[in-house]
C-alpha cells in the first residue's frame, strides 16, 4: 500500500485541499455559528410574539364575556323590569301599554351594548304576559337545551356554549354556534314567579378577535367540550363545533388556560417553526456576505487551478499519444509561465521527431498509400455490383415487357413494387407527410391484394387537415404490414384491416385494427414488455423488428411523448392505438422540408438513370 505523500496528489487535488481546509471549512463553521445564534434569537422573538398573541386573544374574549355579564347586572338590579314581570295584566292593551313604557325607560332599549350582544331574551312564569319581542313566558323555554342545562347546573349565572341547529332554517337568526349567559332575575325576590334572563353574545364579533391575529400558525380556543374559535380560513359560525379532544393529537407550541364564569377556556397555538435557513434568506445582507466570502476564493482557486491543471492534463494526454507513436503538436495558447515553456519544448520535440519520421519512412508510407488505394478501388467495384438502380431498372424492364404482352395487371403490380422498393431503399430524409405514407401503404395493399385476391379488405379514414402532418417514414406502414403478415396471412378467413387517423386540439391519433389471428395473452404480454423496455440493443437481438423498429423511431421522433397501446385476443384480431402531440408533428423546421425536396429531386434523377 502506497503511503500518502503530497507529491502523489495531483495539482488539482492539492489546490482543492487548500481551498477546503483554508477557505471553505472556516467560512462554513463561522457562518454556521452566526446563523445558529441569529436563528435562536429569531425563535425567542417568535415565542414572545406568540405569547403576546395569546394574551391579546385571552383579553379580548374575556372582555366581551365580562362586559356581557356586567350588562346582565343592569337588568338584574332593574326594579322597573322586575315590577313589569310580576304584574298581572288584565288585557292585551294593558300589557302592551306597560311594555311600551318599559322599553322607553329600561335597559332593554339599550343598543345591545354597541354590537357586543346579538340577542336579549327574558322569560317569566307569568301567564298574563304575551309572548313576543324580548319578553316571553317561561313555558316556551322549559323544553329547550339551554334551559335544561341551566337548571341542572344549579348556578345563578351560567355561561353556556351550544350548537342551535334550528337557526339554519330561520333567516336573520344569527350563527348556529351560540354562546349564552343565563341567570335568574331574583334580586327582588320571586313572589311566586320564576324569572330567567338569557343573552346571546355575538359569536362573529368574538371570532373576529381571533381571526385578526396574523401569525404563521393556527390559533384555537376551546373549552372542555368544543373548539370554540380558530383562525382557520374555513371557520364559520354556521358549522358544527369540532370536538375539543381533536387537538390532543396535535403537538401544541403554546397553551394558556383562563376561567370564564363556570367554564375553563384554553388558548392553544400551533405555530410552524421557521426553517433554519429561513433566517438567512430574510437577512439579505448576511446572505450577500456569505455568498461573497465563498464566491471570491472559489473563483480565484478555480481560475488558478484551471490555468495549471488544464494545460498539464493536455500535456499528459499528448504524451500518451507519443507512446502510441502519434506525434501531434499542442495547439493551444502556451502562456509565459513554467507550464507554457514546457508546452513550447514539447512542440519543438514533436516537430523534430516528425521530420525524422518523414525522412526515414517516406518511402514505406508511399508504398502503403498505393496499396490502400488499390483496396479502396476493389471495394468500390464490389459495391457497384449491388447498386439498387440495377434492381430498379430490371423491374422497369419486366414491367414494360408485361405491358407489351398485354399483361397490364402484372405490369401495374411490378410498377408499384418498384416504387415501393425505391421508397423503402431511399433514406435520404426520414420524415414524410401522412399523405405520402398513405401512398406507400396503398401500393403495399395493392400488392397484397394481387397475392391474396379478395381475402384482404382495407378501409381507411383520414380526418381533414391531417394529411400534411409529418411522421417518420414507414412507421404506419410497418404496423399495416405486421397486420397483413401476422394477422391476415395466418388465417383462412376474410381479413379486414382498418386505418383511422384523427386529431383533437392537442393530439394526433393513429389506430390500426385487424380481425386476424391475434395473439395469446402470454405473447401479448411479451410484446408489451418489449415495447415498454425497447432500446437499440433489443432491436439488434430481436428476430422480428418491424413493430419494434417503428415504435423506437416514433418514440425518438416525439422525444418520448408518444403513447402506444396494443390489445389483442387469439382469433379476434389486434388493435393498436398511437397518440402523438400535435406540437411534435406540426413543428417541422423548413430545412427538413427543403431537404425532403432535394431528396425527391435526387430520386427523380436516379429514376432517369
d(CA 409, CA 406): 9
Lookup: cell for 171: 333567516
Helix and strand counts by DSSP (H, E) for the chain: 20, 17
Helix or strand (DSSP H, E) at 415: helix 408-425
C-alpha distances in angstroms, 506 versus 503, 583, 588? 8, 8, 16
Residues in contact with 371: Cβ distance below 8 Å, sequence separation at least 6, in sequence order = none
121: β partners: 198
Q: 590-608 and 408-425 helices cross at what angle (nearest 10)? A: 130
B/e letters for 129-162, b = 16+ CB within 10 Å, e = fewer, are beeeeebbbbeebeeeebbeebeeeeeebbbbbb
- Contact criterion met (CB below 8 Å) for 445 and 456: yes
Chain segment 342-381, per-residue pLDDT in tens:
887 888 887 888 777 777 666 565 555 444 434 443 434 3
d(CA 70, CA 62): 12
Give the pLDDT of residue 109. Answer: 60
Half-sphere exposure of 168 (CA within 13 A, CB side): 8
- The length of the chain is 609
Domain definitions of the chain by residue range = 52-271, 303-381, 426-608
Give the pLDDT of residue 115. Answer: 66
d(CA 122, CA 142): 13
Phi, psi of 161 (to 5 degrees): -115, 125
d(CA 417, CA 444): 8
- Kindly report the CA angle at 173 between 170 and 177, in degrees rounded to 5? 105
Please give, one letter per residue, the 3-state secondary structure of 239-266. CCCEEHHHHHHCCCCEEEEEEECCEEEE
- The residue among 229, 237, 235 whose CA lies nearest residue 265 is 229
Lookup: cell for 319: 504524451
What are the strands, taking DSSP E only, across 307-447? 431-433
In which residue ranges of the chain is pLDDT below 70?
1-7, 106-115, 273-284, 286, 334, 360-412, 415-429, 536-537, 539-545, 587-609
Q: Specify the CATH number of the domain 426-608.
A: 3.30.565.10
Structure letter (DSSP) for residue 21: I
d(CA 441, CA 481): 9
Chain segment 267-283, per-residue pLDDT in tens:
999 887 666 555 556 66
- Contact criterion met (CB below 8 Å) for 518 and 573: yes
d(CA 415, CA 443): 9
Amino acid at each position: 500500500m502506497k503511503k500518502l505523500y503530497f507529491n502523489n496528489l495531483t495539482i488539482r487535488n492539492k489546490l482543492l485541499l487548500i481551498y477546503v481546509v483554508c477557505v471553505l471549512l472556516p467560512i462554513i463553521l463561522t457562518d454556521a455559528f452566526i446563523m445558529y445564534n441569529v436563528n435562536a434569537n429569531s425563535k425567542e422573538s417568535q415565542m414572545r410574539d406568540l405569547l403576546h398573541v395569546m394574551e391579546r386573544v385571552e383579553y379580548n374574549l374575556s372582555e366581551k364575556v365580562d362586559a356581557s355579564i356586567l350588562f346582565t347586572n343592569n337588568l338584574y338590579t332593574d326594579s322597573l323590569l322586575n315590577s313589569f314581570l310580576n304584574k298581572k295584566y288584565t288585557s292585551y292593551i294593558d300589557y302592551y301599554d306597560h311594555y311600551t313604557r318599559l322599553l322607553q325607560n329600561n335597559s332593554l332599549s339599550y343598543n345591545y351594548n354597541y354590537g357586543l350582544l346579538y340577542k336579549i331574551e327574558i322569560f317569566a312564569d307569568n301567564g298574563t304576559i304575551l309572548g313576543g319581542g324580548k319578553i316571553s313566558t317561561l313555558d316556551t323555554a322549559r323544553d329547550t337545551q339551554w334551559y335544561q342545562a341551566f337548571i341542572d347546573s344549579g348556578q345563578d349565572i351560567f355561561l353556556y356554549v351550544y350548537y342551535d341547529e334550528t337557526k339554519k332554517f330561520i333567516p336573520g337568526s344569527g350563527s348556529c354556534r351560540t354562546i349564552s349567559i343565563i341567570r335568574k332575575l331574583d334580586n327582588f325576590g320571586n313572589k311566586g314567579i320564576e324569572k330567567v334572563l338569557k343573552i346571546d353574545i355575538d359569536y362573529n364579533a368574538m371570532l373576529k378577535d381571533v381571526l385578526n391575529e396574523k401569525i404563521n400558525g393556527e390559533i384555537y380556543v376551546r373549552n372542555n367540550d368544543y373548539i370554540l374559535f380558530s383562525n382557520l380560513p374555513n371557520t364559520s359560525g354556521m358549522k358544527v363545533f369540532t370536538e375539543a379532544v381533536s387537538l390532543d393529537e396535535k403537538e401544541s407550541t403554546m397553551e394558556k388556560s383562563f376561567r370564564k364564569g363556570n367554564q375553563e377556556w384554553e388558548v392553544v397555538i400551533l405555530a410552524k417553526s421557521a426553517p433554519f435557513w429561513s433566517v438567512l434568506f430574510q437577512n439579505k445582507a448576511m446572505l450577500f456576505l456569505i455568498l461573497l466570502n465563498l464566491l471570491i476564493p472559489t473563483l480565484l482557486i478555480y481560475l488558478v487551478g484551471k490555468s495549471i491543471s488544464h494545460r498539464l492534463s493536455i500535456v499528459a494526454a499528448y504524451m500518451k499519444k507519443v507512446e502510441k507513436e502519434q506525434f501531434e503538436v499542442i495547439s493551444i495558447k502556451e502562456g509565459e509561465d513554467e507550464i507554457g515553456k514546457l508546452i513550447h519544448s514539447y512542440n519543438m520535440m514533436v516537430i523534430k521527431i516528425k521530420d525524422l519520421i518523414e525522412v526515414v519512412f517516406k518511402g514505406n508510407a508511399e508504398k502503403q498509400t498505393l496499396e490502400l488505394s488499390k483496396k479502396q478501388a476493389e471495394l468500390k467495384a464490389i459495391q457497384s455490383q449491388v447498386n439498387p438502380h440495377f434492381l430498379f431498372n430490371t423491374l422497369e424492364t419486366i414491367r414494360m415487357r408485361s405491358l407489351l404482352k398485354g399483361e397490364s395487371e402484372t405490369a401495374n403490380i411490378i410498377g408499384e413494387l418498384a416504387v415501393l422498393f425505391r421508397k423503402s431503399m431511399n433514406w435520404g430524409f426520414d420524415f414524410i407527410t401522412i399523405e405520402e405514407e398513405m401512398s406507400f401503404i396503398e401500393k403495399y395493399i395493392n400488392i397484397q391484394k394481387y397475392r391474396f385476391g379478395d381475402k384482404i379488405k382495407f378501409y381507411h379514414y383520414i380526418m381533414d387537415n391531417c394529411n400534411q402532418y409529418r411522421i417518420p417514414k414507414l412507421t404506419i406502414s410497418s404496423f399495416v404490414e405486421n397486420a397483413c403478415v401476422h394477422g391476415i396471412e395466418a388465417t383462412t378467413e376474410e381479413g379486414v384491416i382498418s386505418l383511422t387517423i384523427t386529431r383533437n386540439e392537442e393530439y394526433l391519433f393513429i389506430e390500426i385494427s385487424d380481425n386476424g389471428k391475434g395473439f395469446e395473452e402470454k405473447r401479448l404480454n411479451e410484446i408489451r414488455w418489449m415495447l415498454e423496455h425497447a432500446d437499440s440493443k433489443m432491436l439488434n437481438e430481436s428476430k422480428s423488428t418491424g413493430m419494434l423498429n417503428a415504435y423506437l423511431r416514433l418514440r425518438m421522433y416525439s422525444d418520448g411523448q408518444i403513447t402506444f397501446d396494443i390489445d389483442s385476443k387469439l382469433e379476434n384480431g389486434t388493435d393498436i392505438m398511437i397518440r402523438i402531440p400535435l406540437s411534435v408533428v406540426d413543428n417541422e423546421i423548413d430545412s427538413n422540408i427543403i431537404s425532403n425536396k432535394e431528396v425527391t429531386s435526387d430520386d427523380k434523377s436516379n429514376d432517369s438513370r
